[in-house]
Amino acid sequence: MAMYQIGVKIDVIALYPGDPAEARNPDSPYNKCWRVIPLNRVYMDANATTPLLPEVMEAMRPYWMEVFGNASSIHRQGQEARKAVDHAREVLARLFNCREAEVVFNSGGTEGDNTAIFGLLKPGDRLITTSIEHSAVLRAAERVAERGVDVTFVGPQPDGLVNIEQLRRAVGPNTRPGDSRRTLISIMLANNETGVLQPVEEIGKIAAEAGAFFHVDAVQGAGKVAIDVRRIGCHLMSISAHKMHGPKGVGAMFVRRGTPVDPLLVGGSHERRQRAGTENVPGIIGMGRAAELAMQSLEDGTIERMAKLRDRLQAGLLKIEGTRLNGVGAPRTANTTNITFEQLEGEALVIALDLKGVAVSGGSACHSGATEPSHVLMAMGLDKHAARASLRFSLLKTATDADVDYVLNVVPAAVERLRALAPETVVSGQ
Ligand code: PLP
């Protein structure tokens, strides 16, 4: 049994052996074995995923059982579902600042990133991306390279910002008239590990001057910073609902009118033939409501409040001896701080904090369980010990002062304990 409040505080957890269904039965003999442990749980892993906001849950609720129609059917049930999907599309168009016809619903950030790369590039074309992208871009880049696409990875500076001069050199001069090779630049808006925000408007200008297509992975930026695809000048943008208090497995893509992207999935004529498959109506409705709330929170002071909490948390953590902030000096999303704790294994600290009721992550949270040091931090110049000794704290927009107090209370002791146990070899430098 776990009692959740929004803000993801768990007041009590109950441990029981055996079948959970059995354990929920009040007459079960297993009840005798229950141990109730008061535990203050604080979730600071919002970049991995976020819980649904109650308003999102409420918006989705009718679309599971009552309004269950297929949005492509012409009868009443179908038309009700279609109307709701059209409303969500209108909301997403406002979030992107694009036309409704330029919004394509899909299954999330991975599908959007894959669609941009596989859908646009043929052997002989060029892809220019960075070494700090999410694996949804990196693995797709490796795959198209094997198929004859010329792929260049541009590195970041030590602060995590993409090296613009290196990018300009990689893009090269204007595409020559008659040159049928396509060039795609794919660069993320916000990094999932450090929160560093890339200068996408400047990159959009570089793309335009070179006649290149531009895809932005905005999965970690949407809902945290305002997005405007016209100002950025991109052709494609991917976002994901579950990073902004919407449901998992739903996403949306901006596809600028006339951009020649082949669909990844073919079949029915859904999404104007750009993404086949019966629409996930409840998911799309949830994403629409989450996007509405995300736009509100950009204007009602929520982001500033979150930034203050993050700054207080960061300042407190940096008081611990042997700590360093990653991404110093670069603009960052308001909810993220990535800190190196010298002379310990980040994974051990993640586990120690989890036992104290604090959820954070090391490396790339999308691959929790991975022991590899972060490719992002290593590209920024950290050695593998320092990368392994780094943790990401990413706040929900429902985070509270009490959450920050609790984390600042437990982290110093956990760090001290682990350092006392650490072997001599876990020494980190830059
Ligand atoms: N891009 C970035 C920057 C991400 O952080 C993630 C997930 O963490 C993804 C893409 C993949 O998104 P999804 O989980 O919706 O497939």
- Which residue shows structure tokens 């429902």? 398
Centre of ligand 1 from the C-alpha of residue 408, in Å? 28
Mutation to probe ligand 1, out of 132, 188, 227, 240 (largest number of atoms < 8 A from CB): 240
Burial class (CB in 10 A: 0-12, 13-18, 19+), 429: exposed
d(CA 376, CA 353): 23
Written as six digits, the tokens of 151 are 């792929």
Three-state DSSP class for residue 128: strand
d(CA 143, CA 150): 11
- CA dihedral sign, ordered 130, 131, 132, 136: positive
d(CA 181, CA 350): 46
Find the largest Cα–Cα distance for the chain: 79
Orientation of helix 200-210 relative to helix 164-171, angle to 10°: 20
Say yes or no: CB of residue 192 within 6 Å of ligand 1: yes
Say yes or no: CB of residue 136 within 6 Å of ligand 1: yes
pTM value is 0.90
Say yes or no: CB of residue 217 within 6 Å of ligand 1: yes
d(CA 83, CA 235): 27
Say yes or no: CB of residue 134 within 6 Å of ligand 1: yes
Say yes or no: CB of residue 363 within 6 Å of ligand 1: no
- Which residue shows structure tokens 């599971």? 64
CA distances, 131 to each of 84, 89, 156, 185, 383 (Å): 39, 32, 7, 13, 15
Give strand pairing partners of 216.
Answer: 187, 237
Q: Which of 33, 98, 234, 366 is catalytic?
A: 366
Centre of ligand 1 from the C-alpha of residue 391, in Å? 18
The pLDDT profile of the chain, 430 residues, written as one tens digit per residue, is 344 333 434 444 444 334 445 445 555 544 444 444 456 789 999 999 999 999 999 999 999 999 999 999 999 999 999 999 999 999 999 999 999 999 999 999 999 999 999 999 999 999 999 999 999 999 999 999 999 999 999 999 999 999 999 999 999 876 555 677 999 999 999 999 999 999 999 999 999 999 999 999 999 999 999 999 999 999 999 999 999 999 999 999 999 999 999 999 999 989 999 999 999 999 999 999 999 999 999 999 999 999 999 999 999 999 999 999 999 999 999 999 999 999 999 999 999 999 999 999 996 544 545 568 999 999 999 999 999 999 999 999 999 999 999 999 999 999 999 999 876 545 443 3
Centre of ligand 1 from the C-alpha of residue 48, in Å? 8
Closest C-alpha to ligand 1, atom 8: 366
Dihedral over alpha carbons 166, 169, 174, 178 (to 10 degrees): -120
Centre of ligand 1 from the C-alpha of residue 243, in Å? 8
Say yes or no: CB of residue 251 within 6 Å of ligand 1: yes
Which residue type occupies 15? L
Is 33 one of the catalytic residues? no
3-state secondary structure 301-361: CHHHHHHHHHHHHHHHHHCCCCEEEECCCCCECCCEEEEEECCCCHHHHHHHHHHCCEECE
Contacts (Cβ under 8 Å, ≥6 apart) of 72:
78, 82, 268, 270, 278, 279
Say yes or no: CB of residue 333 within 6 Å of ligand 1: no
Centre of ligand 1 from the C-alpha of residue 296, in Å? 23
